[in-house]
Chains A and B, each alone.
Chain A
Amino acid sequence: GNSVTQMEGPVTLSEEAFLTINCTYTATGYPSLFWYVQYPGEGLQLLLKATKADDKGSNKGFEATYRKETTSFHLEKGSVQVSDSAVYFCALSDQGYALNFGKGTSLLVTP
């Protein structure tokens, strides 16, 4: 079956540091890949997505590239801010609706 594995947290970084959150997946078909983010006290929201191999999703300075050869979709940001503190979830969908989520990675950015 489909599954997503993402790096364990919590991740603590200083402001302006470089961020990488690793995500790898297992899927039988050609899934779409997503990063969702949950800020404190808010619901999950889509951060970025990629629907086919070699696509790069980007939003708010975050980027992730769909790598079919390594079955990965790592999230990166060049310079994190305190406001980026949140829980980040990698997810995939091969049916167009149900999402398989990873366990989430908590990020804390300190001033």
Chain B
Amino acid sequence: GAGVSQTPSNKVTEKGKYVELRCDPISGHTALYWYRQSLGQGPEFLIYFQGTGAADDSGLPNDRFFAVRPEGSVSTLKIQRTERGDSAVYLCASSSPPGTTNTGELFFGEGSRLTVL
């Protein structure tokens, strides 16, 4: 597709369950990012991939959160043993690599809204 695609758009789960959120970036974008946006807050950085590897995962809140990008395109954010505090909109973005003319221009998907009951 033309833009960043995220699935599911909405996910309701119970406390303690495992959740996967998927992101399909813009074709040709080697950089991929995950952000989390809680109600009334701005997006908060979670992790950045350059190609297949996580170049910076310093924003992941704890070891229940993990993300992969095995073939350098689609990425999956995985959350184990979900807690009510994990409820948020999870945003994925992609871009040309840092240092190119598009530095800082991230292209965002519409997000996956996660609700943990």
Contact = CB atoms under 8 A, between A and B. Distances in A.
Contact of A103 (B41, B105, B108, B109): B41
Contact of A43 (B45, B98, B110): B110
B67 to A, nearest CB: 14
A73 interface: no
B106 A89 contact: no
Given A43-B91, A103-B42, A97 B105 contact: no
Contacts of A77: none
Q: On chain B, which size bracket covers the interface?
A: 20 to 34
A96 B41 contact: no
Interface string B32-47: 0101000011111100
Contacts of A53: none
A91 B44 CA distance: 11
Contacts of A4: 42
Interface string B19-53: 00000000000010101000011111100100000
B42 A97 contact: no
Contact of B4 (A43, A93, A96): A43
B8 to A, nearest CB: 15
20 contacts: A32-B103, A32-B104, A34-B104, A42-B110, A43-B107, A43-B108, A44-B43, A44-B93, A45-B107, A49-B104, A51-B104, A89-B43, A93-B103, A93-B104, A98-B33, A98-B59, A99-B104, A101-B43, A101-B44, A104-B41
Interface of A: 4, 32, 34, 36, 41-46, 49, 51, 89, 91, 93, 95-104
Q: Which 5 A-B pairs have the closest CB atoms?
A: A101-B42, A96-B98, A44-B108, A43-B108, A98-B45
